[in-house]
Amino acid sequence: MGGDTSLVRIRDVCRRRDVLRVRGAERLRVDAGQGSGMLVELRRRPAALPDERLPVVPEGRPFVDEHLVAGTSERSPAWLSCADVIVRRYSNREPAPGVVDDLRGRFPGCLVMALTPDGRGHAVVATASGWRARLVPVRPASCLEEHVLSYVSAIHAWITAGWPPEALTAARLTVTYGCAAAPAAVRVIPEKDGEDRRDAHARVG
């Protein structure tokens, strides 16, 4: 079915203010401190649709990352097994400790996994290599699901560009254009082993 799986294409716009925006794209900024970071545009479309012609990219810049994202309502084993990013939902104050490990075991081809809150709270993101962090809203608010999808796609692009996820410690991720009516931002706060492993019976969709 692929009802909630998207093909995401990302291009680096190199922080230049004069770069034209591609129609229908989202824009997200990664500020990792010490001069490191990136500004990217994301284009997404349902993965089940026939492939489309790539848009004309200003300045001839190629897409730097392309991946499949399985959203929270995706249930197809076929799409989940080939997804590069999987996002699930949790309903209690903290996600169950074994959820991320379970996703790693069931879907070894997935590079980035995320748990988004069903209500107010922070999201949790993890990688196949074992790195895990919270995405904590900068302002008192919840991590909206549509924003989490953009954040984890940016993290996927960061890793495939050759940068380690550990370099995102205390980084700020900001959706500045597209799905956000106003800029929405989170801080990346790495979790230590054993931290926030309460509520083992939290339900995850």
- pLDDT, one tens digit per residue, over 52-96 is 554 544 555 556 899 999 999 999 999 999 999 999 988 766 666
Q: State the average pLDDT over residues 154-181.
A: 85
pLDDT band at 15 (very low <50, low <70, confident <90, very high): very low
Q: Which residue has the higher pLDDT, 166 or 64?
A: 166
Q: Which residue has the higher pLDDT, 102 or 19?
A: 102
For residue 155, what is the enclosing H or E element? helix 145-160
How high is the pLDDT of residue 141? Answer: 63
How high is the pLDDT of residue 131? Answer: 94
Cβ(40)–Cβ(13) below 8 Å: yes
Tokens 């979790």 locate to 191
Mean pLDDT of the chain: 79
Q: Which residue has the higher pLDDT, 11 or 146?
A: 11
DSSP state of 120: S
Measured distance CA(132)–CA(192) in Å, rounded: 8
How high is the pLDDT of residue 202? Answer: 36
Measured distance CA(53)–CA(10) in Å, rounded: 15
Q: Which residue has the higher pLDDT, 7 or 62?
A: 7
Q: Which residue has the higher pLDDT, 145 or 147?
A: 147
Q: State the average pLDDT over residues 30-38.
A: 82
Report the largest interatomic distance among the alpha carbons of the chain, rounded to a whole angstrom. 51
Q: Which residue has the higher pLDDT, 20 or 25?
A: 25
Whether pLDDT at 190 is above 70: yes
Measured distance CA(103)–CA(87) in Å, rounded: 10
Whether pLDDT at 101 is above 90: no
Tokens 């925006």 locate to 21
